[in-house]
Structure 1
Amino acid sequence: MPTLSPSIIIDGQPLHYIDQGKGPVVVFCHGLLANAQMWQAQLDALSAQYRCIALDFWGHGQTKNIPTNCENLQDVAAHVLSLLDALNIKNVALVGHGSGGAIAAEMALIAPARIKALVMLNSFVGFEPQVNCVKYQGFMAQVANNQAIPAELATSITELFFSKHANELSQHNTDLALAITQFNQQLSQISSEQIAPLLKFANMAIFKRDTLESVEALTLPTLIAVGLDGYLRTALESYLMHDSIDGSQLLHIDNAGHLANIEKATNFNQHVIEFLNKVNFN
């Protein structure tokens, strides 16, 4: 049984987080169906020089519930800012994955003076393509009907989160094999009490608003990273965000999928550290 992580009450509900290291603050925002644990390799690598805070969003990880008035990712972004207020943290860099990247972008739009840098991994801030919405709704319907993530669905989702050749490569890579197994188990072990909050969060993530034009106003240092061997996000989407955010950097991660920060942790960590080392947190 994992140790219960600290939490802050936001709109009547505890929002759990990991707090590791000291220094300028970097906040890690996971995507739909992941949790704070997905960032462990980054927390280990960055906490020597940064204070790393990794969140468990509503219905994920150790965060079991969701505030009744939480209706969209803008609300979630405001909740993260409230958590930072409670921790007396003024300025941060944000690292977001998937829908966590969209939440990070919303935070930058709400409080641009507080967000000093933005890293988005396999994220897209435009409308979700309709074909994806239909597919994801089908997944969530199975979850709602079963009030759990069935083993077969957990396996299917896990395959989508890793690179297209991950299962083959894992036969000769024990770390990758363990990561795949752990992610699958995490999905299967989501508790019944989390299903309703998870489904509500999923609906907000799938049908998020389009901020592709809004992010053109962002002037903060931005690193956009994409795994080139994934199922869920395309390099084209990252190119669109790169074109929209003036001065942003684009990072291609070969032989990696949606969880490129796990599959290619050393590569991803190196680029993030080099990027953050150039950021002025004052």
Structure 2
Amino acid sequence: MPTLLPSIIIDKQPLHYIDKGCGPVVVFCHGLLANSHMWQAQIDALSTQYRCIAIDFWGHGQSQTLPASCNNLQDVANHVLQLLDALAINDVALVGHGSGGAIAAEMALLAPARIHGLVMLNSFVGFEPQVNCIKYQGFMAQVANAQAVPVALAASLTELFFSKDANESSQHNIALAQAIKAFEQQLIAINAQQIEPLLKFANMAIFKRDTLESVEALTLPTLVAVGLNGYLRTALESYLMHDCIDGSQLLHIEQAGHLANIEKADLFNQHLIDFLSKVNFN
């Protein structure tokens, strides 16, 4: 049984999070179907210099419910700001993955004076392409029908989250093989209580609003990173966001997919540490 993470109550529901380290605060926002533990390699690398807060979003990890008033990613962004208020934290840098990057962007738009740096890994803040929406809805329909993540679907989803040659590479990379297995088991372990909140969160993530034009107003240091060998996001999307956010940095990670921070943890950590060292947290 995993250790129960700390939480705050929002609209009668507990939002759980990891809180480790001390120093300037870095908040980690996972994407759809992941959880706070996807950031373990980053927390291990940063927590001697930074206070790392990694959230389990609604329907994910230990946050297995969802407030009745939560209807979109803007609401979720507000919930993270409430968490920071509860912890008496005013100034942060954000690291977002997938839909977590869209939540991080919403936070930067809602509270620009509090957000001093933004990292978006395999995220896209524009409308989700229709072909993706249809595909993702199909996956979620399987989950809804089974009231679980079927084993075959868990295997298919796991394949999509890693690089296109990850299964081959894992034959001689024990750490990668363990990461692939752990992600698949995490999906299979999603329980019946989580399904309804997870599906609602998925719907909010898939049909998120387009903030590409809005983020043009952001002036904070930003790093846009993408794995070049993945299935779920494209290099073109990273170029679009890089072009929209004035002064942003662009990082393309070779031989990595959606979970590039796991597949290429050392490389991603090196760039993340370098980026954060230039962020003015005051």
TM-score bracket, normalised by the shorter chain, equals: over 0.9
CA deviation string 1:61-99 (max 9, x = no partner): 000100001000000000000000000000000000000
RMSD: 0.3
Q: Which residue of 2 aligns with 1:136?
A: 136
Q: Which residue of 2 aligns with 1:224?
A: 224
Q: Which residue of 2 aligns with 1:31?
A: 31
The equivalences for 1:74-89 within 5 A come to: 74-89=74-89
- Identity rate, percent: 80
**TM-score between both structures, scaled by the size of structure 1:** 1.00
The runs of at least 4 consecutive aligned structure 1 residues that moved more than 3 Å come to none
Give 1:227 deviation, angstroms: 0.1
Q: Matches of 2:13 and 2:193 in 1, distance apart? A: 14
Matched to 1:2, the amino acid is P
Matched to 2:109, the amino acid is L
Q: Matches of 1:29 and 1:88 in 2, distance apart? A: 19
Matched to 2:196, the amino acid is A
Q: Which residue of 2 aligns with 1:123?
A: 123
Give 1:197 deviation, angstroms: 0.2
How many residues align? The count is 282
Q: Which residue of 1 aligns with 2:168?
A: 168
Q: Secondary structure at the match of 1:171?
A: helix
For the pair 1:254 / 2:254, whether they are aligned, the reply is: yes
**TM-score between both structures, scaled by the size of structure 2:** 1.00
Q: Which runs of 5+ in 2 are unaligned?
A: none
Give 1:10 deviation, angstroms: 1.1
Q: Which residue of 1 aligns with 2:91?
A: 91
Q: Which residue of 2 aligns with 1:201?
A: 201
Give 1:26 deviation, angstroms: 0.1
Q: Which residue of 2 aligns with 1:184?
A: 184
Give 1:23 deviation, angstroms: 0.2
Q: Matches of 2:278 and 2:214 in 1, distance apart? A: 25
Matched to 2:122, the amino acid is N
CA deviation string 1:117-172 (max 9, x = no partner): 00000000000000000000000000000000000000000000000000000000
CA deviation string 1:153-204 (max 9, x = no partner): 0000000000000000000000000000000000000010000000000000
Q: Secondary structure at the match of 2:172?
A: coil
For the pair 1:105 / 2:105, whether they are aligned, the reply is: yes
CA deviation string 1:16-61 (max 9, x = no partner): 0000100000000000000000000000000010000000000000
Q: Which runs of 5+ in 1 are unaligned?
A: none
Q: Matches of 1:66 and 1:142 in 2, distance apart? A: 21
CA deviation string 1:222-280 (max 9, x = no partner): 00000000000000000000000000000000000000000000000000000000111
Matched to 1:28, the amino acid is F
Matched to 1:41, the amino acid is A
Q: Matches of 1:242 and 1:166 in 2, distance apart? A: 27
